[in-house]
Amino acid sequence: ERGGYPHFMLKEIHEQPRAVRDTLRGRVSDDLSRVELPELGLQDEDIRAIDRIHIVACGTSWHAGLVGKAAIEAFARIPVNVEIASEYRYSDPIVTDNTLVIAITQSGETADTLAAMREMKKRGVRVVAITNVVGSSAAREADSTIITWAGPEIAVASTKAYTTQLVALYLLAVRFGLSRGTLAEEKAREVLAALDNLPQVVEQVLDTAPQIESFAKRYKDAHDTFFIGRGIDYAVSLEGALKLKEISYIHAEAYAAGELKHGTLALITDGVPVIALAMQPELYEKTLSNIVEVKARGAFVLGLTWVGNEDLEKTVDEVIYLPKTMPLLAPVAAVIPLQLLAYYAAVARGNDVDKPRNLAKSVTVE
Ligand code: M6R
Check if the beta carbon of residue 264 is closer than 8 Å to that of residue 227: no
* Region for 278 from its dihedrals, namely left if φ exceeds 0, alpha if ψ lies in -120 to 50, beta otherwise: beta
Compute the distance from residue 126 Cα to the ligand 1 centre, in Å: 23
DSSP 281: G
CB 59 less than 6 A from any atom of ligand 1: yes
Vertex 78: Cα angle to 76 and 80 (nearest 5): 120
179 lines ligand 1 (CB under 6 A): no
Helix axes 330-348, 209-219, angle to 10 degrees: 50
Say how many Å lie between the CA of residue 345 and the centre of ligand 1.
20
| pTM exceeds 0.95 for this model | yes
Catalytic residue among 121, 286, 324, 361: 361
Q: What does the DSSP assignment read for 135-149?
A: T-HHHHHSSEEEE--
Centre a 10 Å sphere on the Cβ of residue 357 and count the other Cβ atoms it contains. Answer: 9
**Pocket test residue of 67, 82, 158 for ligand 1, highest count of atoms within 8 A of CB:** 158
Each residue of 5-57: pLDDT tens digit?
Answer: 999 999 999 999 999 999 999 999 999 999 999 999 999 999 999 999 999 99
Choice from 12, 84, 106, 338 to test ligand 1 binding pocket (greatest atom count within 8 A of CB): 106
What is the CA(204)–ligand 1 centre distance, in A? 26
Q: Is the CB of 338 under 6 A from ligand 1?
A: no
Q: Which residues pair with 275 in a beta bridge?
A: 227, 302
272-283 confidence digits (pLDDT tens) = 999 999 999 999
ipTM of the modeled complex: 0.99
Asked if 347 and 20 count as a contact pair (C-beta separation under 8 A), the reply is no
